[in-house]
Amino acid sequence: MNRETERLTQAFEEVYELYFKDVYKYVCALCHNPDVAEEVTQETFYQAMKAMPSFRGECKLLVWLCQIAKHAYFARLRREKRMAGGPPDEADARALSDSPSLEQRLLDEADAFAVHRYLHRLDEPYKEVFMLRVFGELSFRKIAQIFERTEGWARVCYHRAKLRLIREMEENDG
């Protein structure tokens, strides 16, 4: 192993030691399953190791790792959903048709694509806060901790994001 590779390996081992527990706790908050959290955290550090040269330092390393973890977890959910297949049951279909809230529109595949399209256009931190709240099911307190802000800030960001999404969808869907 050459010196540069050895130096990078040692640096990455330090990052792993420093942040493993925090990333694991974050993923546990997303999935509520320690076994899945362990797997996703391992995948996170694997992806981070591959992407480390592209880390620009525009955010804290822990925030970057949590972003990778979130994407790894959602990718896992998408894979599981594809593998499970099958149509939704009648009760799910009825519940969706009775109550078209933004969160419930995300459960319907056709609407979810449109919502995600509008969500993609949101500026940060609104997009991230909305995704952590709705998809990650994190409390405002945990979101505030990730951003190192107050719980009130997290609530305001979430509600602004939700209002912007609703307004955008009403304007474009007619």
* Tens-place pLDDT, residues 103-123: 444 445 555 666 777 777 888
Range list of H helices, the chain = 3-31, 34-51, 61-84, 90-98, 102-105, 109-121, 126-134, 140-147, 151-173
3-state class of 100 per DSSP? coil
Say how far apart CA 68 and CA 168 lie, in whole Å. 28
Answer for the pair 121, 168: CB distance below 8 angstroms, yes or no: yes
| CB-CB neighbours of 95 under 10 Å | 12
User: Tens of pLDDT along 13-58?
Assistant: 888 888 889 899 988 888 888 888 899 988 888 888 888 777 777 7
User: Is the entire prediction scored with pTM above 0.75?
Assistant: no
Write the pLDDT tens digit of every residue in 118-165: 777 888 888 888 888 877 777 888 888 888 888 888 888 888 888 887
Phi, psi of 2, rounded to the nearest 5 degrees = -75, 170
| CA atoms within a 13 Å half-sphere pointing along the CA-CB vector of 36 | 17
pLDDT at 174: 53
Q: Is 139 left (phi over 0), alpha (psi -120 to 50) or beta?
A: beta
* 85 band by pLDDT with thresholds 50, 70 and 90: low
Domains annotated on the chain, with CATH: 1-86 (1.10.1740.10), 90-174 (1.10.10.10)
Pairwise CA distance, residues 138 & 157, whole Å: 14
Nearest to 70 by CA among 17, 124, 131, 20: 131
Decide if pLDDT at 63 tops 60. yes
